Amino acid sequence: MSFPALLIAVVLVLAQFLFPRRWAFVPLLIAACHTGNAATLGDFTAVRLVIAAGIARAALGGSLRWSAANPLDLLVAIFSGFALMSSIAHDPYPSSPFVYRAGLVYNILGTYLYARAFLRRPNLLSDLAQSLVIVLVPLALFMVVEQRSGRNLYAALGAKRTEAAVREDRTRAQGPFGTPILAGTAAAVAVPFFLPLWKQRRRWAVVGLGACLTMIASSASSGPIGTLLLGGGAIGLWRWRTRLKTIRRLMILGLIVLHFIKERPIWYLMALIDFVGGSTGWYRARLIDQALTHLDEWWFMGTDHTSHWMHRALGSSPNHCDLTNYYVHLGVLGGLPLMLSLIAILFVSFRRVGRRMAELRGRDEPAEFALWCVGSALFAHAVTFLSVSYFDQMFVFFWLVIGMVPELLGLSESVPARAPQRIRPPNLFQPQPTPELRPS
């Protein structure tokens, strides 16, 4: 623990209580983008401390929301239950499997409830996009300095490395994140949120996109470029949104055909992706192969040994190989039930966003486009999970989006999702005049 890291954490916790409710989600964005994943107070990182403060504020203000009538609330609870339950099947030495999984649940469930509490305003996407601009611009600048100087300026705030990583003679900046890939991925998945600002607040959109592209370039990693192309490609399908079902079926059919006509499974397409040199796409494809081959070892509640899968142990965890796949990582932690819970959360999120878009079609195109961009960001996350495991504060960028989906859909805890005619569709992206709210 360093004094600067502790000081920043204290300031962010105080800000969580002092910021107006409209901007109450900003401290978590700052913590995720500008503090490392090292413990600041006990086992609590700055991100965890801000989440705790946010949940406390939401509980005191009566804005903490959860309901079994909301399918996403229920699925996240099931995910958490499977994660905790799986601890009984793991070796209690050298560290407690329950404590580790409790930390995982705290991160995920806490971020989800945090988003449910504070990302609730009609113009929340506009506020979120502008906040991301303010938060990401200094991060982009510091990553440029890191790439050019070789020194990580976030080392004093809990960053994993004090010096920039180097691969294939390329300096790779990572800022406060665990790896350069995660730093670039954080920028890539933020890109879709700036595009709906283009018509009304173009300068904000340009600055935000510039910051993201700068971070991706500074990370010097192929993964973030692929994530950027995934999100951008999904947004590019906007004009054919009414034919999405046909496009989806054709894509699935194409992947099935490729799977059977190629000598290797389709996930080995990752081995062909190398935008900057030094890519490890083959390793990621091989990991999927090995996870399927050793399915009997982990399908029930996970496993404590994966180093034999790739014949390469991870330095920080000798019993495991490098699990560069979020789905496989969760499967190793909690078995197929935990992995399938994540897939179900993604499926329900996509389906409900799509249904809301259909309801808005012909009535509110800006709101429909904003939802399309949210879906594009989720799509980028879902595919990126195949090659990156969100093992540090990166989880914030995904679970915040999942947590705000119910509000984007105009769902109410007291109104079942099957009665959309009773719910007035929110104006998702048009800035609206609202009275100033006092901190709760």
- 362-377 pLDDT tens trace: 888 888 999 999 999 9
Give the mean pLDDT of the chain: 88
Contact 45, 35 (CB under 8 A): yes
**What pLDDT, in 10s, does the model give residues 317-336?**
889 999 999 999 999 999 99
Percent of the chain, pLDDT > 90?
A: 65
Would the pLDDT of 426 be above 90? no
* Six-digit token string for 434: 């609202």
Contact 366, 429 (CB under 8 A): yes
**Hey, where are the domains in the chain?**
3-422
Would the pLDDT of 414 be above 60? no
Would the pLDDT of 28 be above 80? yes
pLDDT at position 360: 87
Residue 125 vs residues 40, 153, 276, 382: alpha-carbon distances, Å: 31, 30, 33, 20
**Dist CA 395 CA 376 (whole Å):** 17
Lowest pLDDT segment from 134-143, 225-234, 256-265, 426-435: 426-435
Give the type of residue at 244.
L
Compute the average pLDDT of residues 374-393. Answer: 94
**Dist CA 106 CA 232 (whole Å):** 32
Q: At what angle do helices 326-360 and 71-85 cross, to 10 degrees?
A: 170
**In the structure, what pLDDT confidence band is assigned to residue 234 with cuts at 50, 70 and 90?**
very high
**Dist CA 428 CA 143 (whole Å):** 32
**What pLDDT, in 10s, does the model give residues 153-184?**
998 888 888 898 888 778 999 999 999 999 99
pLDDT at position 170: 87
pLDDT at position 311: 82
Residue by residue, DSSP assigns 159-181 as -S-SB-EEETTEEE--TTSSSHH
pLDDT at position 365: 85
**What pLDDT, in 10s, does the model give residues 339-353?**
999 999 999 999 999
Can you list the pairs that 355-362 forms with residues at least 24 positions away whose Cβ atoms lie under 8 Å? 355/409, 355/420, 356/408, 356/409, 356/410, 356/420, 356/425, 357/241, 359/420, 359/425, 360/425, 361/242
**In the structure, what pLDDT confidence band is assigned to residue 40 with cuts at 50, 70 and 90?**
confident
3-state secondary structure 26-49: HHHHHHHHHCCCCCCECCECHHHH
Would the pLDDT of 431 be above 70? no
Would the pLDDT of 432 be above 70? no
